[in-house]
């Protein structure tokens, strides 16, 4: 199978070389056929002459507010529990069920007899599912997207990015709980999950099966389009641009060659499915995020006397606009938009990765998932913003209120101003971010593909070949309208997903209650001196 991949990839090279010479034509034709869809998804509702709000953003944030209130601020109350779940504190009850472990059994032998030879559905651990999903969100949005938001909305945009991240935690909890609740498990143990399945099965239970199937099909189409575009071509394009610029590779085929190498590396990983993807992301994500955060900490420590001033600018700008175009509302929209776009909460994509986790309690993975927007937006995006604000106090490389196009370059300048030549490390980080995002989105798109076209080796092979070809195409040509369309596809996923999750909220609440009762029962058993099975396994 590997030979087929690489042979087809090499056969595609002449076509890709031709595509490079007709970039403008491709872009123009693509825009003619897809422009209406992009305009529809990102249509801005005019509230006054001075500001407009994209309707899809209203759906996204409106859903996040609803989930935050409906689940009684789970983004706050479930925060510490999420860390405990990730480090395995409740792994025993998630594998075997609390009643069997802490029910009527009174001896070690009784307990062990109840769990011998049992297995639990799922392919990856909580930590692996978390890193697989994080690898799709932690990326260029944290580096380039933050810089763009600040250029338009000023420092105050940071505050609203944080708000979007905190609210998004509730959305992630809701959709990922459903992802596990309604997943399918094949005879070989392979898991198939995500919005396609909970929209179909969950809404059927509520007597809205036909409506659920329509929403599921729409979502599957959108997630495939998003996987080829924003989750693939955009990542390859930006990584290739940074690489060729850093090493001053000016040849006409530099991007093509970079894309081929990247496609080969992606192929090696995605051939192994979610287990291989998870095993790679659990190493790559902490490593690349660690390097990036460490550099930010060094810069903040070197300028610690300016941190309070930076936060003051953020707070003042959040509620005054500081003269930025659009004022307060303009700043708010930019921050929330970039925050929501960065963490993908409410988009439904993360539910696909989290559905593969090993657990008997769906809500356990929902609680783990709420950490993603916190790490992605509240921590990493905020650190990027602080670095840019602190290093730009004298306005030496950016004027707030003037939109920039190359966010990565601006962030690189900010880091370079304190850590000389850090742009080299940043380029490596961009490539790793892009790589991890591509392999995770390949899994998302594959699940949508299987839902529409069936499960089988040939079906898998067709999708993977197409995905790898788009890696090379993305690195080779100027994307333009292709990226606008792929972004629209990703955020079109919000509509069927949010509608379905709101309709299924009562089921999520039941699952949360069931899991929290199990946790409480274990804690009570430990307090009463019952056997801790972990000591004997």
> Which two structure tokens, joined as six digits, stand for 371?
């950490």
Question: How far does Cα 207 stand from its chain's mean position?
Answer: 31
Q: What share of the chain is helix, strand, coil (3-state, %, to 5)?
A: 75, 0, 20
Q: Which of 363, 289, 314 is closest to 94 using CA atoms? A: 363
Instruction: Give me the pLDDT at residue 537, please.
Output: 41
CA distances from 511 to 123, 183, 239 (A): 21, 14, 41
pLDDT in tens, 244-298: 877 777 776 777 888 888 888 888 887 766 666 767 777 777 777 788 888 888 8
> Which two structure tokens, joined as six digits, stand for 289?
């995020």
Q: What is the 3-state secondary structure (H, E, C) of 364-387?
A: HHHHHHCHHHHHHHHHHHHHHHHH
Region of 52 on the Ramachandran plot (φ > 0 left; ψ -120 to 50 alpha; else beta): beta
| Cα distance between residue 376 and residue 342, in whole Å | 7
Contact 63, 168 (CB under 8 A): no
What residues contact residue 36 under an 8 Å CB cut-off, 6+ apart?
A: none
| Cα distance between residue 191 and residue 193, in whole Å | 6
Instruction: Give me the pLDDT at residue 115, please.
Output: 38
pLDDT above 90 coverage of the chain, percent: 16
What residues contact residue 385 under an 8 Å CB cut-off, 6+ apart?
A: 146, 149, 150, 155, 157, 158, 161, 314
| Cα distance between residue 243 and residue 140, in whole Å | 14
| Cα distance between residue 362 and residue 182, in whole Å | 9
pLDDT in tens, 430-445: 788 888 888 888 888 9
Terminal-to-terminal C-alpha distance of the chain: 40
What residues contact residue 157 under an 8 Å CB cut-off, 6+ apart?
A: 149, 150, 317, 318, 331, 334, 335, 338, 385
Residue 8: CB atoms within 10 A of its CB come to: 15
Digit-by-digit pLDDT tens for the chain (537 residues) are 455 545 555 555 555 555 555 555 656 666 777 778 888 888 888 866 666 778 888 888 899 999 999 999 999 999 999 888 888 777 777 666 666 666 654 444 444 444 334 456 666 777 777 777 776 677 667 777 787 778 777 888 888 888 888 998 999 999 999 999 998 887 777 778 889 999 999 999 999 889 999 999 999 999 998 888 878 888 888 788 778 877 777 776 777 888 888 888 888 887 766 666 767 777 777 777 788 888 888 888 888 888 888 898 888 887 775 545 445 555 656 666 666 666 778 888 889 888 888 888 899 889 989 988 898 888 888 888 898 888 877 666 666 666 666 667 777 778 887 888 777 888 888 788 888 888 888 888 998 999 998 888 888 889 998 998 888 888 877 666 666 777 788 888 999 999 999 999 999 999 999 988 888 887 777 776 655 545 434
Instruction: Give me the pLDDT at residue 323, please.
Output: 45
| Cα distance between residue 410 and residue 218, in whole Å | 37
Instruction: Give me the pLDDT at residue 448, please.
Output: 92
Among all chains, which residue has been given the structure tokens 């209203």?
Answer: 58
- Bridge partners (DSSP) listed for residue 184: 192
Contact 376, 169 (CB under 8 A): no
Radius of gyration of the chain (CA): 23
Question: How far does Cα 399 stand from its chain's mean position?
Answer: 30
Q: Which of 404, 395, 413 is closest to 313 using CA atoms? A: 395
Contact 38, 491 (CB under 8 A): no
Among all chains, which residue has been given the structure tokens 């003619």?
Answer: 32
- Bridge partners (DSSP) listed for residue 392: none
Q: Is 400 exposed, middle or buried (0-12, 13-18, 19+ CB in 10 A)?
A: buried
| Cα distance between residue 132 and residue 128, in whole Å | 6
Among all chains, which residue has been given the structure tokens 């990703």?
Answer: 490
């Amino acid at each position: 199978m590997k030979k087929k991949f690489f042979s087809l990839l090499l056969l595609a090279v002449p076509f890709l070389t031709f595509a490079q010479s007709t970039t403008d034509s491709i872009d123009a034709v693509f825009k003619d056929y897809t422009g209406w869809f992009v305009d529809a998804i990102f249509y801005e509702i005019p509230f006054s002459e001075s500001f407009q709000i994209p309707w899809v953003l209203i759906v996204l944030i409106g859903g996040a507010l609803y989930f935050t209130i409906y689940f009684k601020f789970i983004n706050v109350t479930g925060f510490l529990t999420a860390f405990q779940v990730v480090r395995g504190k409740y792994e025993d009850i998630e594998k075997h069920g609390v009643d069997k472990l802490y029910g009527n059994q009174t001896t070690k032998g009784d307990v062990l007899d109840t769990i011998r030879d049992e297995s639990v559905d799922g392919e990856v651990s909580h930590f692996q599912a978390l890193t697989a999903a994080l690898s799709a969100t932690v990326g260029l949005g944290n580096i380039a997207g933050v810089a763009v938001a600040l250029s338009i909305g000023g420092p105050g945009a940071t505050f609203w990015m944080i708000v979007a991240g905190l609210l998004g935690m509730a959305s992630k909890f809701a959709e990922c709980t459903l992802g596990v609740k309604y997943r399918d498990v094949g005879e070989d143990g392979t898991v198939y999950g995500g919005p396609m399945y909970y929209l179909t099965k969950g809404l059927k239970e509520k007597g809205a099966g036909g409506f659920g199937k329509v929403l599921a099909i729409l979502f599957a189409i959108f997630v495939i389009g998003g996987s080829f575009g924003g989750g693939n071509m955009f990542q390859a394009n930006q990584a290739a641009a940074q690489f060729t610029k850093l090493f001053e590779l000016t040849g006409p085929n530099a991007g093509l060659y970079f894309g081929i190498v990247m496609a080969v590396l992606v192929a090696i990983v995605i051939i192994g499915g979610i287990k291989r993807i998870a095993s790679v992301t659990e190493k790559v994500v902490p490593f690349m995020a660690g390097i990036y955060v460490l550099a930010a900490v060094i810069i903040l420590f070197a300028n610690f006397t300016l941190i309070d001033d930076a936060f003051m600018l953020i707070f003042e700008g959040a509620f005054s606009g500081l003269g930025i175009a659009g004022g307060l509302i303009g700043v708010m929209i930019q921050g929330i938009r970039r925050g929501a776009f960065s963490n993908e909460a409410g988009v439904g994509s993360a539910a696909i990765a989290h559905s593969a986790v090993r657990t008997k309690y769906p809500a356990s993975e929902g609680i783990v998932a709420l950490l993603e927007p916190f790490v992605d937006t509240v921590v990493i995006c905020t650190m990027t913003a602080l670095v840019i604000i602190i290093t730009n106090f004298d306005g030496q490389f950016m004027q707030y209120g003037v939109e920039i196009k190359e966010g990565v370059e601006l962030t690189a300048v900010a880091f370079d101003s304190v850590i000389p030549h850090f742009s080299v490390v940043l380029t490596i980080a961009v490539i790793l971010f892009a790589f991890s995002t591509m392999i995770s989105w390949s899994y998302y798109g594959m699940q949508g593909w299987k839902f529409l076209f069936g499960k089988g080796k040939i079906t898998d092979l067709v999708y993977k070949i197409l995905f790898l070809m788009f890696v090379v195409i993305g690195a080779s040509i100027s994307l333009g309208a292709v990226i606008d369309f792929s972004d629209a596809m990703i955020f079109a996923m919000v509509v069927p997903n949010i509608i379905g999750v709101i309709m299924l909220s009562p089921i999520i609440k039941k699952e949360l209650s069931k899991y929290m009762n199990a946790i409480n029962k274990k804690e009570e058993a430990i307090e009463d001196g019952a056997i801790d099975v972990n000591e004997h396994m």
